Amino acid sequence: MYCPACNHSRNPPGADACEHCGLPLTHTDEAALHGRVERSLMTDPVSILAPATPVTVAPDATLADAIRLMIDRRVGAVLVVGAAGELVGILTERDFLTRVAGRPGFEQLPVADHMTRDPETVTPADTLAFALGRMDAGGYRHLPVVAGGKPVGMVSIRDVLRHVTRISQGG
């Protein structure tokens, strides 16, 4: 969201105030919606994407276990959940490539030592624009969908692209 006072353009959609200068932005929230794609992004909830059931591992699972799950389930990320099923982290393909690949004996290392703790999340009711804003700001390809602190799904940038493509084609 663009701030008219300081020109900061990386405020998340729906922000109450500019992250850079603190100017209240609530008066700029009422943007005119043009077209089906824009209307969908601004009004449709994340749940419209039918988020995939998350693939989860425990923090003490090994990296070999997590990688095997990613390969077997054909996903690019696994969610790390605590004993009560709460989300505690995420391990992505990128995490593996940048933090682990090439280290001798990595297979037996615990996921907890290499995951991203407390990842950004969305709820099923958040708008698609909000999810895209989080993905853009953080450079994420995957976002956990959380309800009550527990993961209920996973959305990817590919899910959003498929949705936008379908809508732009009249679907």
| Residue 6 CB contacts under 8 Å (≥ 6 apart), including other chains | 18, 20, 21, 23
Q: Are 46 and 91 in contact (CB under 8 A)?
A: no
Q: Is the pLDDT of residue 5 over 80?
A: no
Predicted confidence band of residue 29 (pLDDT cuts 50, 70, 90): low
Residue that the structure tokens 């729906």 belong to: 14
Task: Residue 95: name the closest of 161, 51, 139, 158 by CA.
Answer: 139
Task: Residue 55: name the closest of 36, 74, 29 by CA.
Answer: 74
Q: How far apart are CA 116 and CA 114, in angstroms?
A: 7
Q: Is the pLDDT of residue 52 over 80?
A: yes
Q: What pLDDT does residue 11 have?
A: 84
Question: What angle do helix axes 128-138 and 157-168 make, rounded to 10 degrees?
Answer: 130
**pLDDT > 90 in the chain, percent:** 68
As beta bridge partners, residue 89 has 80, 117
Q: How far apart are CA 84 and CA 64, in angstroms?
A: 23
| Residue 101 CB contacts under 8 Å (≥ 6 apart), including other chains | none
Q: Is the pLDDT of residue 26 over 90?
A: no
**pLDDT > 70 in the chain, percent:** 95
What would the two tokens of residue 42 be?
A: 């601004």
Q: Which amino acid is at 111?
A: V
CATH fold of 47-166 reads CBS-domain (3.10.580)
User: HSE (CB half, 13 Å, CA atoms) of 109?
Assistant: 17
Q: What pLDDT does residue 32 have?
A: 62
Domain boundaries, the chain: 1-43, 47-166
Q: Is the pLDDT of residue 56 over 90?
A: yes
Q: List, for residues 57-83, the tens digit of each pLDDT value.
A: 999 999 999 999 999 999 999 999 999
Q: Is the pLDDT of residue 115 over 90?
A: yes
Q: Which amino acid is at 150?
A: K
